[in-house]
Amino acid sequence: MKKVLLSGAAIIAIIIGCKTANSATPGKSIKIAMEAKSGSKVSGEATFTEENGEVTLEAKLTGLKPGVHAIHIHEKADCSAADGSSAGGHWNPTFKSHGKWGSASYHRGDIGNFTADEDGNATVLFKTNEWCISCGDATKDIVGKGLVVHQDPDDYTSQPAGNAGARVACSGIIK
């Protein structure tokens, strides 16, 4: 058997080569703070992360009334109105009827419902390949839109927005 001695530079080159070969490309991420609206005490933060063509939304919210609430992406990153109405309607770049995500017809902003516990806390986790962060595709790009939490659940049928009640928290999805 023949022994091979490597120089320090060769060992470093091998280590660097292994490290870069195993490193994943870092994803894009936006973290936003939710603002209380409509006289609510709702607060929290949401993070959108894009990796391998899929966007994950994770929102942690407090100050909600216990029970079921809707969460949607709206047309504008403008949460200046006291009732959140400045965020516009649901984001609907494909011009579909409102509905439940994954059904025959739904808006790209129709995330759905989540449940706040008895203390008013909730975590929302949602993943899709139908969104992107700063990709420039108007039918997928969530940057420049608004994330809105509603007082009530989405009924998934009322047009155009699911009869989800007041907007109790809002934040622009901006870098």
Q: Which residue in the list 69, 141, 150, 154 is annotated as catalytic?
A: 150
- Is there a catalytic annotation at residue 167? yes
Q: Which residue in the list 90, 108, 141, 154 is annotated as catalytic?
A: 90
Contact 145, 74 (CB under 8 A): yes
Q: Which residue in the list 69, 72, 108, 154 is annotated as catalytic?
A: 72
Amino acid in the structure at residue 110: D
DSSP code at position 85: G
Q: Which residue in the list 69, 108, 141, 167 is annotated as catalytic?
A: 167
Q: For tokens 């995330």, what's the residue?
A: 111
- Is there a catalytic annotation at residue 107? yes
- Is there a catalytic annotation at residue 69? no
CA distance 110 to 129: 14
- Is there a catalytic annotation at residue 150? yes
Please state the separation of Cα 121 from the chain's center in Å: 18
Q: Which residue in the list 78, 83, 107, 141 is annotated as catalytic?
A: 107
Q: Which residue in the list 74, 108, 141, 154 is annotated as catalytic?
A: 74
- Is there a catalytic annotation at residue 74? yes
- Is there a catalytic annotation at residue 72? yes
Residue 60 backbone dihedrals phi, psi, to 5 degrees: -120, 120
Q: Which residue in the list 98, 108, 141, 154 is annotated as catalytic?
A: 98
As annotated, the active-site residues are: 72, 74, 90, 98, 107, 110, 150, 167
